[in-house]
């Protein structure tokens, strides 16, 4: 079974830039994994930020962007705001296996 890895925690200063990554135990993450990124705040449902590597929903703030960086999927936050403090999860799809979430990254804006 594939394992999806994320940084357990990251800290960014207000107005700063941070990149969260999403790796796979099976090798390089590609567009064929259709990477998703979700934001979740305590006590609330997840919110979809990015789908299929880099596509945004209408509610996704412009400061969030998705990409492939090296052999991982990446979520970059440029110009962090206090309200961006949350847990972030990536989701990868696998042919022949079920989709897998990463363990989540707790992002602190401090």
Partner 1 sequence: EVQLVESGGGLVQPGGSLRLSCAASGLTVSSNQMTWVRQAPGKGLEWVSIIYGGGSTYYADSVKGRFTISRDNSKNTLYLQMNRLRVEDTAVYYCGNIPGSGNWGQGTLVTVSS
Q: Which residues bind partner 1 (CB under 8 A)?
A: 1, 34, 36, 38, 40, 45-48, 51-52, 57, 87, 89, 91, 98-104
* Closest-CA residue to 101 (of 44, 45, 55, 33): 33
Minimum CB distance to partner 1 smaller for 27 or for 95: 95
Task: For residue 58, give every residue at least 6 positions away whose Cβ sits within 8 Å of its Cβ, in sequence order, or none.
Answer: none
Give the strand pairing for 36-40 and 86-94.
antiparallel
Task: Report the Cα 54 to chain-centroid distance in Å.
Answer: 10
For residues 64 and 89, which CB has a smaller minimum distance to partner 1 in the complex? 89
Question: Least CB distance from residue 16 to partner 1, whole Å?
Answer: 25
Closer of 17 and 55 to partner 1 (Cβ): 55
Closest separation in Å from C-beta 81 to partner 1: 21
Q: How far apart are CA 18 and CA 43, in angstroms?
A: 24
Residue closest to 59 by CA, chosen among 74, 67, 49:
49
Residue with smaller CB distance to partner 1, 15 or 32: 32
Q: How far is the CB of 15 from partner 1 (least distance, A)?
A: 27
């Amino acid at each position: 079974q594939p394992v999806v890895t994320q940084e357990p925690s990251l800290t960014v200063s207000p107005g700063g830039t941070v990149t969260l990554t999403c790796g796979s135990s099976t090798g390089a993450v590609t567009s064929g994994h259709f990477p998703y990124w979700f934001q979740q705040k305590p006590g609330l449902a997840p919110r979809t930020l990015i789908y299929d590597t880099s596509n945004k929903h209408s509610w996704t703030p412009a400061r969030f962007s998705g990409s492939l960086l090296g052999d991982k999927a990446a979520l970059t936050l440029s110009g962090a705001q206090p309200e961006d403090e949350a847990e972030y999860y990536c989701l990868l799809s696998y042919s022949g296996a079920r989709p897998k979430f990463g363990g989540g990254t707790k992002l602190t804006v401090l």
